[in-house]
Structure 1
Amino acid sequence: MKEKQFWNQILELAQERLTRSMYDFYATPAELIKVEENVATIFLPRPEMEMVWKKQLKDIIVAAGFEVYDTEIKTQFVLTKPEEESSTYVMDSENSNHYVASQANLAIPYSETGLKEKYTFDNFIQGDGNIWAKSAALAVSEDLALTYNPLFIYGGPGLGKTHLLNAIGNEILKNIPEARVKYIPAESFINDFLEHLRLGEMEKFKKTYRSLDLLLIDDIQSLSGKKVATQEEFFNTFNALHSNQKQIVLTSDRSPKHLEGLEERLVTRFSWGLTQNITPPDFETRIAILQSKTEHLDYNFQSDTLEYLAGQFDSNVRELEGAINDITLIARVKKIKDISIDIAAEAIRARKQDVSQMLVIPIDKIQTEVGNFYGVSVKEMKGTRRVQNIVLARQVAMYLARELTDNSLPKIGKEFGGKDHTTVIHAHAKIKSLIDEDDNLRLEIEAIKKKIK
């Protein structure tokens, strides 16, 4: 049948012309209704699609028309299908740049998307700890709702999860300005739901979230332990978007299987697509991050200063950013342009004393808190017994002594019954590796840190 041949030719040519995400967004949802008297009637479910068909695909329609019908085929776009004739609105694509009427959803103003322009893929520093998460985020931005849906990114605070969420949203809007995109922390989603529920405006809430093309939810663990109605609404929102092939991207401080206080059906859905971890940046990545953060400043950060800073903070990017802010403040007050290690050390001493008290935490306090948490005595920790729970407590305590104090490796080893410094290095590496793989251990160590500080 010529109509089918004509339409398949259009789609084939459109696939060559458009990027994958634009093809999926603009071409795939369209339908050919009929070709009559050399006019093709094409159904577009969203009015914003007309501009692409009119500007970027017009010559393709002409080419397909001559190939199949051996004549020029003009176009007429409609917003509803013929069986809904009473509410059909026709768009005159030949002579008009606007629609006669539109019942479809309008694009969301950028100011209401929740996105931050500064977060892009271009300024996201890639390292061993985040390379796969970034690759997955890029894939989603190129093949919306077809590659990984949902995409679930998890990891500790300050590692770039929010940056990636925003980068996805900004990339989509760069390629598809009409896409309906919303970034929102889970806590804000909950508050928005409760406020609409209180005001009796649930239909408005549903229309806002269920009409999106891309929903970006940050810190989904905030949904844990919330009332059944809240989880029910998110469940329904998730289902509505997913069933309509709309993209969902979630972040959390832990993997789906370790999310407690959530209905099992939600946890199951979070694992439908791809789950990807982000781990703390290694030394080289921290150097690259520091270079990126300082290259536009009016201060000269010497290479050895950056190396010093990279060695002082290794848990997350926010600590590095905070350190840079402290340093530039001191440099501004002292009217210094060249940032030496001494200037950096001065700023960090103040930061550690004021914020984390890193330099004044005694090792015996760390040993006591770790022992209390794991039910192991300090004497056992300093001994040589190789019982599993004692070994874990000993290694965690050594890890925290290395992370939270400025003591040398030999000094730390001495505090653990005269252990060699290589034992401390091994313990630190072992726990760091386990943290990357075991959410529960990471959360346990965070809990111990809070008690120590």
Structure 2
Amino acid sequence: MSLSEQERWARVQARLRAIVGEDNFKNWFGAMEHDAISENVVRLSLPTRFLKSWVQSHYADKLLACWKAELPSVRRIDLVHRSAVLRNTIAKVKTTDPVELARDVKSRAPERGEPRGAQPPAQAAHEALGGSPLDPRLAFDTFVVGRSNTLAHAAAKQVALARRGEPVLFNPLYIHSGVGLGKTHLLQSIAWAGNGIADRKVLYLTAEKFMYGFVAALKAQTALAFKEALRGIDVLVIDDLQFLQGKSTQVEFCHTLNALIDAGRQVVIAADRPPSDLESLDDRVRSRLAGGLVVEMGSLEEELRLEILKSRVAAARAHHAGFDVPAPVLAFIARTITHNGRDLDGALNRLLASNKLTGLPITMDMAERAVRDLIRPQEPKRVKIEDIQRIVARQYNVSRADLLSSRRTANVVRPRQIAMYLAKTLTLRSLPEIGRRFGGRDHTTVLHAVRKIENLVGNDSALAEELEVLKRLLQE
């Protein structure tokens, strides 16, 4: 950069500081760098996508006006995320099609050096906001609806297709289920559909990405920009919330959640358990999550598994014209592979590989050999002591900490004894091991609890029924 360009940039900064004030200038423009001027286009760079997105959304006109005051020939300003890749490729990509700074983020071009047209507009807009990668296969069109996921699908679609300014019906929307049952599919579908609507910003983040973004912003001293950029989103979608760790990160998530909900913005969250069971999260966060619409996606019923298989075969046939799976084979797979949708995908992938690599038609014998290890016997679920403590605590309206404490009030002692009894009858743990898991108690205490509940069950039909309910909950 020539001396005159440096001086001009310094004068632009002085004008900007006078307009926005010293504090705003430090927060939003302190880390901005002037890279180059080419064909009346000024290229400026910022260290994070969040900071770039915020400046672009809130200070576009002011920044352009300051440059025009110093250099009237400037027509556009190009903001980029500062990275090693972009430093080498941005000139070629941007000078051929510079983007006006004031234009909405959805219309911006991809920033990663891909060929033009490599990304759909919705994905380009999403990545410009700094979101986690989206899989183009995970859209509403490819989601198969059944009894176990009807409510979750309907709620997700309502959120995705809502317009800016419309009342928010359920906030937050919290979807939970076991692995491979479609949570991520629904959340990414919301991002795809939502970013296809004009003037709407939908950001999909995994909990890991949220943590990484917050830590990176702290290191780059742009935490305020990170917070404000997130709070400027219309719909924030967080996946795998159970992995959110770290006190400071959880505090920031709580503040962001409250700010978005209070401002009437939509929040969608998915996890592998209900809010009350996210014991690593603060009570205030769990309470806020439970205050919205909490929807569980149940296990895939056989009819739904069969429909999923049919849709996967149809999708595979688009790329492999000769691929065909006889109806009895599909019915066999749907009947025997019961745990989750990923196992169904794995079964079809094996049949496709066997068919293409050997040239043999798909038969029942081939299917039985290919998916043998995916067929899991319907044996009782292995119960963990932690699960027993969690479910018993929830059933009797006490905390898990109460069960492990030395409290001896009646409302705690009975649930503790029931939990010890279930731990002895449903697990292979020894009495001393169970005692250690219940706050370091002696094995004789556990033995007394077990015998106490055994004696009561024979004479108390209500207690016996409660135990059966707890056992069913633990096996589900």
Displacement after TM superposition at 1:236 (Å): 1.4
Q: 1:189 to 1:306 in 2, by over 3 A?
A: same
Would the alpha carbon gap of residues 208 and 227 (structure 1) be closer, same or farther in structure 2, given more than 3 Å must change? same
- Which residue of the partner structure matches residue 206 of structure 1? 227
* Cα deviations by residue, 1:83-127 (Å, 9 ceiling, x for unpaired): xxx99x9xxxxxxxx99x977973376230433322222211111
Give 1:166's aligned residue.
188
Q: TM-score, normalising length from structure 2?
A: 0.53
Q: Contact 1:115 / 1:182 at 8 angstroms: preserved in 2?
A: no
Compared CA separation, residues 271 and 103, structure 1 to 2 (3 A): farther
CA contact (8 A) 1:185 1:220 kept: yes
Provide the secondary structure at the position in 1 that maps to 2:236.
strand
For residues 253-284 of structure 1, give each alpha carbon's deviation from its aligned partner in whole angstroms, at most 9, with x where no partner exists: 00111110111110111122200000111011
Q: Which residue of 1 aligns with 2:250?
A: 231
Counterpart residue type for residue 217 of structure 1: I
AA partner of residue 232 (structure 1): V
CA shift for structure 1 position 434:
7.8
Aligned partners of 1:275 and 1:255: how far apart in 2?
8
1:146-295 matches, within 5 Å, as 146-174=168-196, 176-223=197-244, 226-295=245-314
1:339 alignment partner, SS class: coil
After superposition, the CA RMSD in angstroms is 3.8
C-alpha distance in structure 2 between counterparts of 1:241 and 1:126, whole Å: 30
Q: 1:192 to 1:335 in 2, by over 3 A?
A: same
> Which residue matches 1:106?
105
SS in 1 for 2:204: strand
Amino acid in structure 1 at the alignment position of 2:279: E
Q: Which residue of structure 2 lines up, in the alignment, with residue 310 of structure 1?
A: 334
Say if 1:373 and 1:178 are closer, same or farther in 2 by CA, change over 3 A.
closer
1:325 aligns with 2:349: yes
In 1, Cα distance between equivalents of 2:220 and 2:188 = 30
Shift of 1:194: 1.3
Task: Write the letter of the residue equivalent to 2:249.
Answer: T
SS at match of 1:212: coil
- Report the counterpart of residue 18 of structure 1 in structure 2: none
- Is 2:194–2:201's contact at 8 Å kept on the other side of the alignment? no
Relative to structure 1, is the Cα distance of residues 119 and 392 closer, same or farther in structure 2, using a 3 angstrom cutoff? farther
Q: CA separation in 1, counterparts of 2:422 and 2:274?
A: 24
Where does 1:377-392 land on structure 2 (aligned, <5 Å)? 389=422
Name which of 130, 147, 150 aligns with 1:128: 147
Q: What's the CA shift string for 1:117-146, capped at 9, x where partnerless? A: 222222111111101111111221233561
How far apart, in 2, do the equivalents of 1:311 and 1:436 lie?
A: 26
Cα distance in 2, alignment partners of residues 257 and 268 from structure 1: 8
Q: Secondary structure at the match of 2:307?
A: helix
> Residue 263 and residue 390 in structure 1: after superposition, are their counterparts in 2 closer, same or farther (change >3 A)?
closer
Q: Structure 1 residues 213 and 104, CA, compared in 2 at 3 Å: closer, same or farther?
A: farther
CA contact (8 A) 1:279 1:436 kept: no
Alignment of 1:42-121 (within 5 A): 106-107=105-106, 110-111=123-124, 112=127, 113=131, 114-121=133-140
Closer/same/farther in 2, CA of residues 436 and 304 from structure 1, 3 Å limit: farther
Matched AA of 1:169: A
**Stretch moving more, 113-122 or 205-214:** 113-122
Matches within 5 A, 1:346-385: 346-349=369-372, 351-352=373-374, 358=376
The within-5 A match list for 1:336-351 is: 336=360, 338-349=361-372, 351=373
Cα distance in structure 2, aligned partners of 1:372 and 1:238: 32
Deviation at 1:245, TM superposition (A): 1.3
Give me the whole-angstrom Cα distance separating, in 1, the residues matched to 2:471 and 2:200: 35
SS in 1 for 2:238: strand
Distance 1:263 1:103, change over 3 A: farther
5+ unaligned residues in a row in structure 2: which ranges?
1-56, 66-75, 78-99, 111-122, 389-420, 428-467
Q: Which residue identity does 2:328 align to in structure 1? A: D
CA gap of 1:136–1:390, structure 2 versus 1, over 3 A, is same
- SS of the aligned residue for 2:174 comes to strand
TM-score by length of 1: 0.56
Provide the secondary structure at the position in 1 that maps to 2:352.
helix
CA distance in 2, matches of 1:301, 1:292: 12
Q: What residue identity is the alignment partner of 2:187?
A: L
Shift of 1:173: 2.3
Q: Report the Cα distance in structure 2 between the residues aligned to 1:434 and 1:310, rounded to whole angstroms.
A: 29
What is the Cα deviation at residue 390 of structure 1?
9.7
The DSSP-based 3-state class of the residue aligned with 2:368 is helix
Pair 278,436 (structure 1): closer, same or farther in 2 beyond 3 Å? farther
User: Per-residue CA shift, 1:234-267, capped at 9, x if unaligned?
Assistant: 1111122112211110001001111101111101
Letter in 2 for 1:138: K
Give the number of equivalent residue pairs.
286
CA positional deviation for 1:371:
10
**Contact 1:153/1:276 (<8 A) preserved:** yes
